[in-house]
């Protein structure tokens, strides 16, 4: 087992320092919102049931959810079905700037933790709800990322005709959480002017519709339905995956007339450069039926690395076909600080991608490893004014859970 890794403290203050977020979230969408706010400096306190967020125990494609989306957070374990647990939650909310939740409609209201109730306790509170659908005819439905991808046009666009296919990542959950964070920051900015908080809602279905809006507008502009991506008419003459020497694959693109001339010169394709049928990008799009097979035949004997080197030297777009696990060794990510050390729950050290942005030239990093269940229960209770005897009683009564570290 690898030694525990203590994340390095940030070199300077972060923009959301001093903001306290209390999140009642699980799975991906809500935790993503909290992760973004936490990475930007907020103190994020994750309220978990005594048994813990179920995401901690997921297998397969869900095994990475908890360590990714719960870094930089503190964990307190509460039984919200008890009066004592709810009292702790109310004290937390009274001290909070933001509350974030992603439970089914009605769940938080039954606990007295909905916006209508909490805004009376804390009028300055920003309350972020992450849902399947914004209020309307569908809001009673149970939504998952795959559900909204299917009903929102994304699976249709990703798959082959007649074979809808979900995207290879939890795109709506993650992006929906990001919009929740954007809404929270907008509401905090508004509070600076008005002194009052407000409710923010983000939803999976509406997020998915935003993702496919470009194809909706394509239809609005052209009158022609957007074809699924594998069957689409590309906007660019050369914009595809090529299978080359030893079965290797590489994505190559030539998206302007200047790039076309560079491409032809770099590969010695004087005949194609002089072909009047290929002068403009639109000409090359119309010629794809015969041009692409010809280019595939000419490039097939070459090595993928050699092709990439030529494209890079000419400033032409290209990409290796990379598996997610290969990114841990990506030179660019390693040298630019795009990966940060992170300790998993079992003590192993790995690397994790950071937010894809810089602030004054620096990437917001990892300050806290994903917490053990109830790791910060005692700390949070003490911060709320509970004495040692009260903490001991809450633990003994099973109202609060604390990690044994």
State pLDDT tens for residues 124-180.
999 999 999 999 999 999 999 999 999 999 999 999 999 999 999 999 999 999 999
What residues in the chain have per-residue pLDDT under 70?
1-11, 404-405
Catalytic residue among 3, 173, 271, 346: 173
In a domain? residue 15? no
Q: Which two tokens stand for residue 251?
A: 């994505």
Closest to 243 measured CA to CA, from 252, 235, 234: 252
DSSP reduced 3-state for 95: coil
In this prediction, residue 2 carries a pLDDT of: 42
Tell me if 102 sits within 8 A of 132, measured CB to CB: no
CB atoms near residue 177 (< 10 Å): 31
Cα–Cα distance for residue pair 231/157, rounded to 1 Å: 9
Tell me if 200 sits within 8 A of 127, measured CB to CB: yes
In a domain? residue 264? yes
Domain shared by 163 and 276, yes or no: no
Residue 309 sits in a domain whose CATH number is 3.30.1540.10
Q: Which two tokens stand for residue 345?
A: 């729950």
Domain shared by 36 and 146, yes or no: yes
Q: At what angle do helices 213-222 and 204-211 cross, to 10 degrees?
A: 50
Domain shared by 41 and 150, yes or no: yes
Q: Token match 């870094």: residue?
A: 71
Q: pLDDT tens digits for 286-345?
A: 999 999 999 999 999 999 999 999 999 999 999 999 999 999 999 999 999 999 999 999
Residue 360 bears catalytic tag = no
Domain shared by 304 and 368, yes or no: no
Q: Are strands 349-353 and 400-401 parallel, antiparallel or unpaired?
A: unpaired
Q: Token match 């590489």: residue?
A: 250
Domain shared by 345 and 374, yes or no: yes
Q: Which helix (H) or strand (E) holds 88?
A: helix 83-94
Closest to 282 measured CA to CA, from 242, 316, 234: 234
What is the domain count for the chain? 2
Full domain range(s) for residue 115: 20-212+330-401
Tell me if 44 sits within 8 A of 19, measured CB to CB: no
Q: Token match 């798959």: residue?
A: 159
DSSP reduced 3-state for 131: strand
In degrees rounded to 5, what are phi and psi of residue 78? -130, 145
Q: Are strands 43-48 and 349-353 parallel, antiparallel or unpaired?
A: unpaired
Closest to 187 measured CA to CA, from 207, 203, 172, 201: 201
Domain final residue, candidates 301, 325, 349? 325
Closest to 286 measured CA to CA, from 328, 217, 231, 237: 237
Cα–Cα distance for residue pair 405/386, rounded to 1 Å: 21
Q: At what angle do helices 171-194 and 204-211 cross, to 10 degrees?
A: 110
In degrees rounded to 5, what are phi and psi of residue 327? -70, -20
SS3 helix, strand, coil % of the chain, rounded to 5?
A: 45, 15, 40
Helix ranges restricted to H, 165-287: 171-194, 204-211, 213-222, 257-267, 270-273, 281-286
Domain final residue, candidates 307, 325, 343? 325
Q: Which two tokens stand for residue 226?
A: 């957007």
Cα–Cα distance for residue pair 347/339, rounded to 1 Å: 18
In this prediction, residue 404 carries a pLDDT of: 65
Q: What does pTM read for this prediction? A: 0.92
Q: What is the dihedral of CA 148, 153, 154, 156, to 10 degrees?
A: 120
5's CB contacts (< 8 A; 6+ apart) are: 341, 342, 343, 349, 369
Domain final residue, candidates 269, 293, 325? 325
Helix ranges restricted to H, 225-361: 257-267, 270-273, 281-286, 288-299, 304-314, 331-336
In this prediction, residue 1 carries a pLDDT of: 38
Residue 343 sits in a domain whose CATH number is 3.40.50.10540
């Amino acid at each position: 087992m690898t030694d525990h890794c203590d994340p390095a403290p940030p070199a300077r203050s972060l923009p959301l320092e001093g903001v306290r977020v209390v999140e009642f979230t699980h799975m991906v969408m809500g935790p993503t919102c909290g992760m973004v706010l936490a990475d930007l400096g907020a103190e994020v306190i994750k309220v978990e049931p005594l048994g813990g967020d179920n995401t901690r125990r997921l297998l397969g494609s869900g095994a990475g959810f908890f360590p990714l989306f719960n870094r930089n957070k503190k964990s307190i374990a509460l039984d919200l079905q008890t009066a004592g647990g709810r009292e702790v939650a109310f004290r937390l909310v009274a001290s909070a700037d933001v509350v974030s939740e992603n439970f089914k409609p009605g769940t938080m209201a039954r606990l007295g933790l909905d916006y209508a109730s909490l805004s009376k306790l804390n009028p300055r509170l920003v309350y972020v709800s992450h849902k399947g659908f914004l209020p309307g005819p569908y809001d009673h439905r149970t939504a998952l990322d795959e559900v909204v991808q299917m009903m929102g046009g994304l699976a249709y666009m990703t798959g082959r005709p007649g074979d809808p296919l979900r995207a290879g990542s939890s795109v709506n959950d993650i992006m929906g959480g990001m919009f929740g964070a954007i809404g929270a920051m907008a509401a905090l900015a508004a509070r600076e002017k008005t002194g009052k908080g407000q409710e923010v809602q983000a939803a999976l279905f509406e997020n998915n519709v935003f993702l496919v809006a470009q194809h909706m507008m394509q239809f609005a502009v052209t009158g022609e339905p957007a074809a699924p991506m594998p069957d689409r008419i590309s906007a660019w003459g050369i914009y595809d995956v090529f299978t080359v020497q030893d079965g290797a694959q590489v994505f190559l693109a030539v998206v302007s007339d200047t790039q076309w001339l560079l491409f032809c010169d770099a590969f010695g394709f004087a005949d194609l450069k002089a072909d009047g049928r290929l002068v403009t990008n639109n000409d090359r799009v119309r010629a794809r039926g015969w041009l692409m097979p010809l280019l595939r035949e000419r490039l097939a004997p070459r090595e993928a690395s050699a092709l990439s080197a030529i494209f890079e030297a000419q400033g032409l777009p290209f990409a290796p076909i990379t598996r997610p696990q290969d990114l841990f060794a990506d030179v660019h990510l390693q040298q630019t600080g795009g990966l940060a050390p992170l300790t998993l729950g079992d003590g192993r050290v790995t690397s994790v991608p950071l937010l894809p942005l810089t602030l004054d030239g620096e990437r917001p990093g990892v300050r806290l490893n994903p917490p053990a269940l109830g790791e910060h229960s005692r700390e949070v209770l003490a911060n709320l004014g509970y004495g040692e005897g009260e903490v001991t009683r809450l633990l003994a009564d099973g109202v609060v859970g604390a990690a044994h570290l």
